[in-house]
A = this chain, B = another copy of it.
Amino acid sequence: MATVEELKLRIRELENELIKSKQKQSDAEHHLRPKIDKMSAEVVDSNPYSRLMALKRMGIVQDYELLLFDYDKVELANMNRLFFQPHQAGLSKVEAAEHTLRNINPDVAFETHNYNITTMDNFTHFMNRISHGGLEEGKPVDLVLSCVDNFEARMAINTACNELGQIWMESGVSENAVSGHIQLIIPGETACFACAPPLVVAANIDEKTLKRDGVCAASLPTTMGVVAGLLVQNVLKYLLGFGTVSYYLGYNAMQDFFPSMAMKANPQCDDRHCRRQQDEYKKKEVERPKQEVVQEEEEVVHEDNEWGIELVSEVSEAELQDASGPVPDLPEGITVAYTIPEKDGASGETVEETDQSLEELMAQMRKM
């Protein structure tokens, strides 16, 4: 039988071990930063907003909120995309995403919904959160992003946004993993997903019957990373009002080819809410004084160039001026930064800000 002294020694050992274990366990939490009241522009590396605040003239979104909808679970097969980590396998994707993002930035507010938006009840709830889940209590959200891998879910988002007149951005990667696209949809104004549906939707085929058993869709993290980057860049441009917001931007990874275009809504669209939005848009256009129409069109494409980023260039402004114009006096061997070519109508494959109808564009594409 153990003596009292032996028992006391064992207690001390256990207490020390427990302290060490708890220390290790909470190590990560010790490094978590507390919430902050006001974003600082101080140029120190310990300021998590220093890189962002250097862009402050572009406009900083003061309040951040993220509503996430997904019914999937994290699997080991998802690890090739870097965002989810192996210890999160089995968690719902929205839960894992919230955990990771909150860990990085505790100042962001989250609302997660772990359900399939295509079932009747969930769809109603989904519409409700779009209409009333904005930062301003009870107001609609600023933008809906579609990052799904099937047409059924896309059509659900399309239906909801058409009914609500909610602006949204669609994104996707092809099943062979070497191309993708992003698209801005303004109900009534630009083509919705039902205005120009892919073959599988127009032919009313049940896509589940097309999936082959035991065949896995390919996935390249590079293609997904590029498309996700282009999507969120477009979101920032749209929300903060800098640069030209793309209506449609494709990415062909095999050839590094990036077609861009704009498509008007289709007056024969199957979605009655899309047609209703088109009527309302037309009415607004007619009511608008004629001179302002031109201005308005410019506003839509966000061509306002007064974004004025604070340029911290490694060359002087004068040197930059030289580099972007004709450069006759530069010493041999000096290159210039590339500039946007003149818009002379001979822009080849890039169709920007067209006023053509969907039918005209389709006819063009058939000729290619």
Given A258-B256, A313-B176, verify A104-B77 contact (CB < 8 Å).
no
The chain B residue sitting closest to A31, CB to CB, is B87
Q: Is the CB of B176 within 8 A of A312?
A: yes
Is A246's CB within 8 Å of the partner chain B?
A: yes
Q: Is the CB of A310 within 8 A of B346?
A: no
Interface residue SS majority, chain A? loop
Known: A43-B215, A230-B256. 10 other contacts (CB 8 A): A53-B216, A55-B219, A176-B312, A210-B315, A218-B310, A243-B254, A256-B260, A268-B332, A270-B333, A336-B365
Which residues of the other chain, B, contact A256 by a CB distance below 8 angstroms?
Answer: 230, 234, 244, 246, 249, 258, 260
Stretch in A44-52, A109-117, A135-143 with 4+ CB within 8 Å of B: A44-52
Q: Is the CB of A233 within 8 A of B216?
A: no
For window 169-207 of A, CB contacts with B under 8 Å fall at 174-179, 195-200, 202, 207
Stretch in A19-27, A123-131, A280-288 with 4+ CB within 8 Å of B: A19-27
Is A295's CB within 8 Å of the partner chain B?
A: no
Is A61's CB within 8 Å of the partner chain B?
A: no
Is A349's CB within 8 Å of the partner chain B?
A: yes
Which residues of the other chain, B, contact A260 by a CB distance below 8 angstroms?
Answer: 256
The chain B residue sitting closest to A260, CB to CB, is B256
Is A147's CB within 8 Å of the partner chain B?
A: no
Q: Is the CB of A11 within 8 A of B7?
A: yes
Given A260-B256, A309-B176, verify A51-B218 contact (CB < 8 Å).
yes
How far is it, in angstroms, between the C-alpha of A258 and the C-alpha of B330 when the chains are bound? 25
The chain B residue sitting closest to A17, CB to CB, is B18
In the complex, the count of this chain's copies comes to 2
* Nearest CB of chain B from residue A10's CB, rounded to whole Å: 6
Which residues of the other chain, B, contact A341 by a CB distance below 8 angstroms?
Answer: 348-349, 368
Is A66's CB within 8 Å of the partner chain B?
A: no
> B2, B86, B249, B307: which contacts A103 (Cβ < 8 A)?
B86
Q: Is the CB of A243 within 8 A of B255?
A: yes
Is A367's CB within 8 Å of the partner chain B?
A: yes
Q: Is the CB of B50 within 8 A of A77?
A: yes
Q: Is the CB of A335 within 8 A of B362?
A: yes
Hey, what's the 0/1 contact readout for A8-47 against B, CB within 8 Å counting as 1? Answer: 1011001101100110110110111100000000011111
Which residues of the other chain, B, contact A229 by a CB distance below 8 angstroms?
Answer: 222-223, 225-226, 229
How far is it, in angstroms, between the C-alpha of A260 and the C-alpha of B21 when the chains are bound? 55
* Nearest CB of chain B from residue A326's CB, rounded to whole Å: 5
Which residues of the other chain, B, contact A202 by a CB distance below 8 angstroms?
Answer: 331, 333-334
Hey, what's the 0/1 contact readout for A231-254 against B, CB within 8 Å counting as 1? Answer: 011101100001110100110111
| Smallest CB-CB A-B distances: 10 pairs | A348-B348, A45-B75, A225-B229, A226-B229, A243-B254, A51-B219, A54-B218, A31-B87, A14-B14, A222-B233
Is A289's CB within 8 Å of the partner chain B?
A: no
Is A269's CB within 8 Å of the partner chain B?
A: yes
* Nearest CB of chain B from residue A175's CB, rounded to whole Å: 5
Q: Is the CB of B225 within 8 A of A253?
A: no
Most buried by B among A89, A218, A223: A218
26 A-B residue pairs with CB within 8 Å: A11-B14, A31-B87, A50-B77, A51-B216, A54-B216, A54-B217, A79-B104, A175-B311, A176-B311, A196-B333, A200-B314, A223-B233, A225-B229, A242-B254, A243-B253, A243-B255, A244-B254, A246-B256, A252-B338, A256-B258, A257-B340, A332-B359, A334-B362, A339-B368, A341-B348, A348-B350
